[in-house]
Amino acid sequence: MGYGARVIANTGPRVRVLSEEALATLERGWDRLGSEVGVRFDHPRALELFRDAGQTVDGDVVRFDPGFLRSRAASAPSAFRMTARNPERSLEIGGDRMIFAATNGPPFVRMGDERRDGTMADLQRFLAMTQASGVLDTPGRSIVEPNDVPLDVRHLLRALEAIRLTDMVWSGEASSEQGAADCLEMAAIVHGGRERIEAEPAIFCNVNVNSPMQFDSRMLEGLLTYSAAGQPVIVTPFLLMGAMAPVSVAAALVQQTTEALAGIALIQLVRPGAPCVMGSFLSATDMRSGSPSFGGPESAFGLYASGQIARRLGLPWRSGGGGLTASQTVDFQAGYEAFNTLTSAFLGGANVCWQSAGWLEGGLVTCYEKFAADCELIDLLSQQAQALVVDEAALAFDAHLEVGHGGHFFGAAHTLERFRDCFWRPTIGSTDNIDRWRRDGGLDYAQRARGRWRGLLDRYQQPPLDETVEQELVEFVERRARELGDHVEVRRGPLHPAPAG
């Protein structure tokens, strides 16, 4: 794995768990839920747009005419392109394309046996590791929360470091109108102006629904601001069955689709044709403890079905995870839960996989070792999702003529020409015999993952950024911080994340 463009076309099979009759039943379900229960929108502009579109607005609840949500979703593009400051890192969203983002949002970090608050130094390291990973396509918004930075200016410094330490598409602040405006301004500085990014989208915004059936005012501020600017918005209901949704997968799918389509309909009322992504985050609750659980069969069924629904609606789809796990450490549970969730995303035909690297402890923690482990898992499944090459060269008939009966192929010309890259090779997993493994310290997978993430940091090289652009960004961040009541002095020039202890 290394630097450079990486285009993943998931040509593997799609699991279909819903019959045409089941799909029709679910569609009747979300029409009924939207028309009889409705969705609450805590923002006057959203209510005004729906009222003007002829929908029933009762206080802050909107009830939708049957078919309205689907008809509005039909004006959203089925695929779109996003421009990175490095053209080789630009993204195609939709169709059979898949992109992967690191874990986003955890307040805590884990490094080895240490669990603590996340810091800006941690965020910088994870940004560098994302850039160097070779399998991640975007750092998203905040791989870990930098708790040593004042909250009101955090979005400015997160965005600045994402721009300077990676050359990828990134995700802006969603939870306030001013934060969204600041991120749009920073993207405009990088890409040559507001008109340029409106013509060629450059940043994501992920909006979470306050499930059940409610969009809060801060998330709506982000949705309205980014969609007005033509930037892609991912609308993601957050459903834990038994807590924020009923305990049946079918009921959760109806609720998830109603919530997602309500947000997408609003985007299309703001700016018809604006790019957007139908998001999902559907998992179960441990009914003994009340804690979220991940990687189980209900989550897998939810992912398969969500993909089917998104394809039926012609919308790009964000799967409900990446490398999700409830485990507290990098152990077998963390591995199988992450594998089952990520495999289900591939088989469901996901276009956007958020939370793909580093997630631990139900999303409370971003873990260094889990980050490296998840990157290996993404790489494995990405290779597995490619079409098998079957041609005359692949049949290797000459190798059989050379080796004959009862020989071996180690020294055959066909092998010698291809042995360096003929098979996928793990970056952490071991095939050593027991004696060699013991001589090398007898390290388990989690211990070897520590060496891997440190290696990513060692090989990291900061991507070039025009000095004039960087100066304008820094001045903007420092000025906005003063206006928000904080003093921030940003270091200019080359950066390299601090080495880990």
Q: Confirm whether 495 is domain-assigned.
A: no
User: What is the token pair recorded at 121?
Assistant: 């130094």
**Residue 361 pLDDT:** 97
Rounded Cα distance, 393 and 414, in Å: 9
Tokens standing for residue 482 = 């003063």
The tens digit of pLDDT for each residue in 259-295 reads: 999 999 999 999 999 999 999 999 999 999 999 899 9
Q: Beginning with the edge strand found earlier in the chain, give each strand of the sheet holding 292-293 in spatial order.
A: 239-241, 282-285, 292-293
In a domain, 188, yes or no: yes
Q: What's the domain range around 280?
A: 12-17+72-384
Residues 96, 10 contacting (CB under 8 angstroms):
yes
Q: How far apart are CA 144 and CA 390, in angstroms?
A: 43
Confirm whether 356 is domain-assigned: yes
Q: Which two tokens stand for residue 357?
A: 């690297």
Rounded distance, CA 282 to CA 310, Å?
14
User: Is the pLDDT reported for residue 296 higher than 50?
Assistant: yes
Structural domains in the chain (count): 1
Q: Residue 490: what pLDDT?
A: 85
How many whole angstroms separate alpha carbon 226 and alpha carbon 112?
Answer: 38
Q: Is residue 496 part of a domain?
A: no
Other CB atoms within 10 Å distance of the CB of residue 245: 27
Q: Is the pLDDT of residue 1 over 90?
A: no
Q: Is the pLDDT of residue 98 over 60?
A: yes
What's the CA gap between 4 and 132, in Å, rounded? 9
Examine residue 191 and state whether it is found in any structural domain, yes or no: yes
Identify whether 199 is part of a domain.
Answer: yes
Amino acid making up residue 233: V
Average pLDDT value for residue range 39-43: 98
Round to the nearest angstrom and report the end-to-end CA distance of the chain.
Answer: 25
Residue 300 in any domain: the answer is yes
Report the mean per-residue pLDDT for the chain: 95
Angle at which helices 445-459 and 120-133 cross, to 10°: 90
- pLDDT for 2 beyond 60: no
**DSSP secondary structure letter of residue 103:** -
Structure tokens at 130: 């994302």
154-168, 249-263, 353-367, 478-492: which range is least confident on average?
A: 478-492
CB distance 64 to 37 below 8 Å? no
- pLDDT band at 4, cuts 50/70/90? very low
Whether pLDDT at 78 is above 50:
yes
pLDDT digits (tens, 9 = 90+) for 460-476: 999 999 999 999 999 99
CA angle 83, 87, 91 (to 5 degrees): 45
Q: What band does 252 get if pLDDT is binned at 50, 70 and 90? A: very high
Average pLDDT over residues 246-258: 97
Q: What is the pLDDT of residue 204?
A: 95
We report the CATH number of the domain holding residue 319 as 3.20.20.480
- For residue 6, pLDDT beyond 80: no
> Could you tell me if 187 and 171 are in contact, meaning their C-beta atoms sit under 8 angstroms apart?
no
Mean pLDDT of 202-212: 96
Burial (Cβ within 10 Å: 0-12, 13-18, ≥19) of residue 453: buried
State the average pLDDT over residues 297-310.
Answer: 96
At a CB cut-off of 8 Å and minimum separation 6, what does 393 contact?
Answer: none
Identify the band that residue 501 occupies on the pLDDT scale cut at 50, 70 and 90: low
What's the predicted TM-score (pTM) here? 0.95
pLDDT in tens, 382-428: 999 988 999 999 999 999 999 999 999 999 999 999 999 999 999 99
**Nearest CA-CA partner of 177 in 145, 207, 213:** 207
At 7 the pLDDT is: 67
Please give the pLDDT value at position 212. Answer: 97
Backbone angles phi, psi at 54, to 5 degrees: 90, 15
- Say yes or no to pLDDT of 297 above 90: yes
Count Cα neighbours of 388 within 13 Å in the Cβ-side half-sphere: 5
Cα separation, 223 vs 201, whole angstroms: 15
Look at residue 8 in the predicted model and tell me its pLDDT: 86
